[in-house]
Structure 1
Amino acid sequence: MGPESIASLRPTEPDGASARYVFRIEVRLPSAADGLWTDPDRFETTLYRAADPPGTDGWLFFRDMLWRGELADETHFRRLAADELGWPVESASFSELRTDDDYLAALREAIAADLDRFDPDTVDAVLRTYLGSSIRVR
């Protein structure tokens, strides 16, 4: 991750997001007190992260965290998720960017306006490089 990499999973503008990143995670419940336990002690769930508006702080989350539709560094992501959730995260995978037409258009525009920030040389190539085919428009 570059110098602008994020320190947490928290979006800068979580309210009213028209797009969200979707992840599948496996969480492990910590050991309970003597004589108490859970079974199973792990469960799979969906983690959502609001996508920051393109061009604002945090909008480059996809560039910093994803590569070809997968987590670029699962260990780092699991550590960030565990810090935020307060439970150990055993596994994590990126599912999709779930968005609407307006957000996707704004994202494409922000990428085009700052294309030199990315290795690929077209907006479509940037989206493929980081998100793969994992964009779902509602």
Structure 2
Amino acid sequence: MDARYVFAVRFRVEPAAGGVSIDPEEFETRLSRTADPPGEEGWLFFRDNLWRGEIGDERHFRELTSEALGVTVTSVEYRALRTDEEYYEALKDEIRANLPEFKDDSVAAVVSKYLGSSVEVEH
């Protein structure tokens, strides 16, 4: 099983030495975060951080990303959950087993509510 959350991250580099400058000062890159296996600690990352395919609390997420990368992050945008079929089926099974926790009536509704249409199943 393999899955990862993908984000577009814009960050600023601030030279530590005086008299040094860079151009441009901001860069954009892709950040991948491994998705925890369904049912294991951390598997609810999507529920806790995403809403309709967007980051729920961008400021907080930007701060966490800054800490993880060691640079000043100016923006973070969720792009997709890239997953293989095995992980995606296991994720849907785990959601189904915990459906009351999501306060929804179907797995499809939960996936849409948190991930929007941003799930990419790789074959």
The bucket for the TM-score relative to the shorter chain is over 0.9
Correspondence for 2:113 among 97, 120, 129: 129
Aligned residues: 122
For residue 10 of structure 1, what is the aligned residue in structure 2?
Answer: none
TM-score of the superposition, structure 1-length normalised?
Answer: 0.86
Correspondence for 2:63 among 50, 75, 79: 79
| Identity over aligned pairs, percent | 52
Contact 1:28-1:88 at 8 Å conserved across structures? yes
| Structure 1 unmatched runs, 5+ | 1-16
For residue 45 of structure 2, what is the aligned residue in structure 1?
Answer: 61
Structural RMSD (CA): 0.9
**Which consecutive segments of 4 or more residues in structure 1 shift more than 6 A?**
none
TM-score of the superposition, structure 2-length normalised?
Answer: 0.96
Opposite residue 72 of structure 2, the aligned amino acid is P
Structure in which a larger fraction of residues adopt helix: 2
Contact 1:120-1:129 at 8 Å conserved across structures? no
For residue 97 of structure 1, what is the aligned residue in structure 2?
Answer: 81
Higher relative contact order (CA 8 A, sep 6+): 2
Q: Distance in 2 between matches of 1:119 and 1:77?
A: 24
1:82 positional shift: 0.4
| Structure 2 unmatched runs, 5+ | none
